[in-house]
Amino acid sequence: MHWLSLLVTLTFASFSFAYPNPIAIYGNTAADDPMLCKDGSGTYFLYSTGPGIEVRTSTDRITWTYAGVVWPDGASWTDPFTNTTNGSLWAPDSLLRGINFRVSKRKSAIFFAKSSTGLPGSFTNEGLVVSTADGDSYNAIDPNLLIGEFKFNLVFLDRLSICHEDGSTWYLSFGSFWTGIKGVPVKPNTGNTTTSTLDSLAQRNGSQAVEASVIYKYGDYYYLFTSWDKCCEGASSTYNVRVGRSKSRSGGFVDADGVALTDGGGTLILASHDGVFGPGGQDLLADSDGIVMVYHYFTSAGTIQYLGINHLDFSNGWPVVV
């Protein structure tokens, strides 16, 4: 009996579960392009794409309470980029972008906002960081801010928390199709760029989709996570999470096979499996129980992007979803 059940288990594991399921499957929480943050009192903040940017809070990282939107009264400074009056704002990170594909596929912008509480209505607009227009070979979307050596998700000034760190060096990565993921240093606390020269961090062969960059420092390396392929086509979504690493945050990333990320490299760490379709749009947080990755995914219903959470194990030098 035991040998039989063991054989069955191994076969099942080999062929059915290429990746672990998200914690708390199949999520009761909707969150597109989630971004996770935790304050000094242990409250988690989850920000996600939506008009005004949706905010949810949790004390256990499992049960989330909808708190409202970051800008309940709209975000008029983003209107030129969204062509709406209320800010169709996507992919929050430490910075927020406004984009509307009806206006122009490359008319995009990344804005910097600050808050002392992280709660709806508390953020101030600190200005435009980078923008793109038709004719540019990249797109100012999916911002990710790396502060000092670590990745922090949101700048909550005046509040001691792991969401806030005064690092002497801030580095913004962003981008998507065409010439891919770009990086640029920005001034601490102001978000102003210090140079108009952008670093090229990753590019797919054939200018395909490479989005949702996250740079995370672990040990001697900076790890660059990206999402490839189709983000948002319900159960047909093919989003998947890739990674490369470098000893520099501003370039030189290679995948586990040694292929440069600027030359189509990217080691696959999470793709569709079981009832999970198109996982991606990820973000990382160093939490008290280990490093967690949040992402969105569709179920077979294909209507809502749910919040997925897993731990990442970096112990062999390359992150593994566990």
Binding site for ligand NAG (CB under 6 A): 72, 74, 83, 85-86, 102-103, 112, 126-129, 190-192, 205, 259, 263-264
- Would you say 38 or 242 has its CB closer to ligand NAG? 242
Specify the 3-state DSSP secondary structure of 272.
Answer: coil
Minimum distance between the CB of residue 128 and ligand NAG, rounded to whole angstroms? 6
Minimum distance between the CB of residue 82 and ligand NAG, rounded to whole angstroms? 9
Minimum distance between the CB of residue 229 and ligand NAG, rounded to whole angstroms? 12
User: Residue 33 catalytic?
Assistant: yes
- Would you say 27 or 52 has its CB closer to ligand NAG? 52
Beta strands in 154-220 (DSSP E): 170-175, 181-186, 199-202, 210-218
CA Rg value for the chain = 19
Distance between CA atoms of residues 272 and 280, nearest Å: 10
User: Residue 149 catalytic?
Assistant: no
Q: Which of 32, 39, 199, 211 is catalytic?
A: 211
- Would you say 129 or 215 has its CB closer to ligand NAG? 129
**Nearest CA among 243, 259, 265 for reference residue 320:** 243
**Nearest CA among 41, 44, 38 for reference residue 58:** 44
Nearest residue by C-beta to ligand NAG? 127
Phi, psi of 46 (to 5 degrees): -120, 120
Distance between CA atoms of residues 145 and 95, nearest Å: 8
Distance between CA atoms of residues 282 and 259, nearest Å: 22
- Would you say 21 or 86 has its CB closer to ligand NAG? 86
Minimum distance between the CB of residue 88 and ligand NAG, rounded to whole angstroms? 10
Would you please indicate which residues are annotated as catalytic (active-site) residues?
Answer: 33, 211
